[in-house]
Amino acid sequence: MDARLDLLGDPVLSRTLKHLTAAGRAVEDSPLSPSTRELVLLRASQINGCGFCVDMHAKDAAHAGETADRLHLVAAWREATVFTDAERAALELVEEGTRIADAAGGVSDEVWENAAEHHGEDALAALVSTIAVINALNRLSVITRQPAGHYRPGMFG
């Protein structure tokens, strides 16, 4: 598969990526755990069919110490026993937050309350921000058909 546009070579797209990446880094000092953040990034990317981002976030999570069992089960998290209640609440929120068009009214009160029960306000804000940013990044990659499989942790600095 060949990319339709060069995300790093095109000046408009590279500036957009720079700003979206900076927005994604805004949550690094939040109370949201890095592990939960990676699971959320991976799950949104799976839902959106973004091979490039699935490749990146699975490899980044593994590089940071996430187990292969947990990474393989992210897509089937509801049936898996390897996630904490807080992680499950975050995965449920990312699913509803990513599939907004599929649910009239967006994120349900039940899903929101469950996420709020397990994550304080600052972590919840980081979770919402992470979901919004990864969905934008997924769309850039899917629309421009970025190929997957060549990512190495740290390759973008």
* Digit-coded pLDDT (tens) for 9-60: 999 999 999 999 999 999 999 999 999 999 999 999 999 999 999 999 999 9
Q: Which residues of 91-107 are buried (b: 16+ CB within 10 A; e: fewer)?
A: bbbbbbbbeeeeeeeeb
Answer yes or no: is 1 within a domain: no
Answer yes or no: is 6 within a domain: no
> Is residue 154's pLDDT more than 90?
no
Domain tally, the chain:
1
Give pLDDT, residue 101: 85
Report the mean per-residue pLDDT for the chain: 95
Q: Which residues contact 93 (CB under 8 A, 6 or more apart)?
A: 107, 111, 112, 114, 115, 127, 128, 131
Q: Tell me, what amino acid is at 114?
A: N
> Is residue 102's pLDDT more than 90?
no
Q: State how far the Cα of 52 lies from the Cα of 72, in Å rounded to an integer.
A: 17
Domain coverage including residue 112: 33-143
Write the CATH number for 107: 1.20.1290.10
Encoded tokens for 7: 């995300």
Give pLDDT, residue 150: 94
Q: Find tokens 């995300």 and name the residue.
A: 7
Give pLDDT, residue 89: 98
> Is residue 63's pLDDT more than 80?
yes
Q: State how far the Cα of 125 lies from the Cα of 127, in Å rounded to an integer.
A: 5
pTM of the model: 0.95
Answer yes or no: is 100 within a domain: yes
Q: Answer for the pair 108, 79: CB distance below 8 angstroms, yes or no.
A: no
Give pLDDT, residue 104: 72
Q: Burial of 87 by CB count in 10 Å (0-12 exposed, 13-18 middle, 19+ buried)? A: buried
Give pLDDT, residue 139: 97
Give pLDDT, residue 64: 93
Answer yes or no: is 135 within a domain: yes
Q: For the chain, what percent of residues have pLDDT higher than 70?
A: 99
